[in-house]
Amino acid sequence: MLEPLGINFDRPKYPSYSVLATRISSYQQWPSYLTQTPRELSIAGFFYVGYGDYVRCFFCGGGLRNWESGDDAWVEHARWFPKCSFLLQNRGVDFVTLVQSVQNEQAETTLTENPPSSLDIDQLPAAVKVHEMGYSWETIKATYIQLNKPVSETVTVEELIDEILADKVTPPNPSEGNSQNIETNPQSRTYTANSTANADLSNELKSLSLKDTFQLKMKQKFYWMKIDVSKSKDYICMEEDITIAFLPCGHLCCCAHCAPAMRKCPICRAFIKGTVKTYPA
C-alpha cells in the first residue's frame, strides 16, 4: 500500500475469502463460549481456520488465537498487523496509530515499573510479544545479543523481527508457547515495518503519472457533487456506502468490504490494478 497517497496495490493472500458472506460461513464450528461473534470477526477481515479459536485475515494473512473476553477484532487486527491494507482502508491510519500508541504507552509503563537493572530479557514487552508469535526464548535472547543493545534500552517488536528474519532464523512453531499470533510465513509483511516497495508496486506506480492522479481526484470530487444520496450505496451489497475508487478507471461503486473481491470494475469491466479510499466532498 502506498500510504502517503492512500493507494493500495496489494492483493488478498486468501482471495477465496474476500466476500464477507464467505468468511461468515467459515465459522460453522466456532466455539460458542467466545464473546467474539462470527460476524464481528468477519467484518474485521478474519475467517475461521477450523480448529480452536484460530482466525486469519483474508487480506494480509495474519493469524490470531487465544481470544479473551472483551477483545475487539479491529483493535487486535491493528495491534498485530498495522500494515494490513484492508485494515487501513476500513478503519484508517488514525485508528491504527491510536492502537499502536496505546501499546507503546503500556510498554513504557512496564519499563518504568521495572527498574532496568533487574529487568530480564524475558520480561521486556517487545520480547514477550515476539515470544507470543512463536519464537523461542533462545532465539530472542540471541537476537538481543546481535543487536548489541543493553537490556535497559527500549527495543521494538519490529526491530526484533527484522533482525530475526535478516538472519534467516527458523520460522516460529505455532505449537510452541502460548502464542496469540499464529502467522508462520517469514515472507509475510505482517510482522515487519518493511518500507521497501516491491517490484510490482513500482511497476504499477509508473502507469500513474501526477496528471493521472490529479484527474482522478477531480473526477472523484465531481462524482460526489453529482451523485444522488439514494444511489450512493454499494452496487454489490446494496447496504454499505460507496467509499472505494478503482484504478486506473476511477469508477466508484463499492464499499471497503466488497472491493477486495473485485477483479474487474463492475461498471466498465476494466481490470482493477489498485484501489483508493474516497470521502464525500
Cell of 20: 464477507
Distance CA 132, CA 136 (A): 9
pLDDT value for 43: 94
- Domain residues for 206? 202-277
Q: Based on the fold, state whether residues 122 and 218 are members of the same structural domain.
A: no
Contact of 255 with 241, CB cutoff 8 Å: yes
Contact of 45 with 65, CB cutoff 8 Å: no
Domain boundary at 144, 166, 188, which?
Answer: 166
pLDDT value for 185: 45
Residue 192 lies in a domain: no
pLDDT value for 126: 78
In the DSSP assignment, the letter for residue 264 is B
Cα 175 → chain centroid:
23
How many domains is the chain built from?
A: 2
Residue 61 lies in a domain: yes
How far, in Å, are 28, 235, 260 from residue 12 at the CA level?
23, 21, 7
CATH number at residue 41: 1.10.1170.10
pLDDT value for 95: 92
Distance CA 249, CA 268 (A): 8
Domain boundary at 109, 142, 166, which?
Answer: 166
Domain boundary at 109, 141, 166, which?
Answer: 166
Residue 1 lies in a domain: no
pTM: 0.51
Q: Based on the fold, state whether residues 154 and 34 are members of the same structural domain.
A: yes
Cα 178 → chain centroid:
22
CATH number at residue 235: 3.30.40.10
Number of residues assigned to the chain: 281
Sorted by sequence, the CB contacts under 8 Å of residue 163 that are 6+ apart come out as: 143, 146, 147
Q: What angle do helix axes 85-113 and 73-80 make, rounded to 10 degrees? A: 80
Distance CA 63, CA 133 (A): 10
Q: Based on the fold, state whether residues 29 and 139 are members of the same structural domain.
A: yes
Q: Based on the fold, state whether residues 114 and 56 are members of the same structural domain.
A: yes
pLDDT value for 240: 83
pLDDT value for 141: 80
The ranges of the chain with pLDDT < 50 are: 1-2, 115-119, 152, 168-179, 182-198, 222, 224-230
Q: Based on the fold, state whether residues 142 and 44 are members of the same structural domain.
A: yes
Q: Based on the fold, state whether residues 105 and 212 are members of the same structural domain.
A: no
Q: Based on the fold, state whether residues 60 and 115 are members of the same structural domain.
A: yes
Residue 218 lies in a domain: yes
Residue 139 lies in a domain: yes
Residue 156 lies in a domain: yes
Q: Based on the fold, state whether residues 135 and 237 are members of the same structural domain.
A: no
Q: Based on the fold, state whether residues 123 and 255 are members of the same structural domain.
A: no
Contact of 124 with 151, CB cutoff 8 Å: yes
Q: Based on the fold, state whether residues 38 and 141 are members of the same structural domain.
A: yes
Per-residue pLDDT tens digits for 182-213: 444 434 433 333 444 445 555 555 555 555 55
CB atoms within 10 A of CB 8: 23
Q: Based on the fold, state whether residues 162 and 209 are members of the same structural domain.
A: no
The SS3 call for residue 159 is helix
Nearest to 161 by CA among 183, 191, 134: 191
Q: Based on the fold, state whether residues 103 and 239 are members of the same structural domain.
A: no
Distance CA 110, CA 234 (A): 45
Residue 190 lies in a domain: no
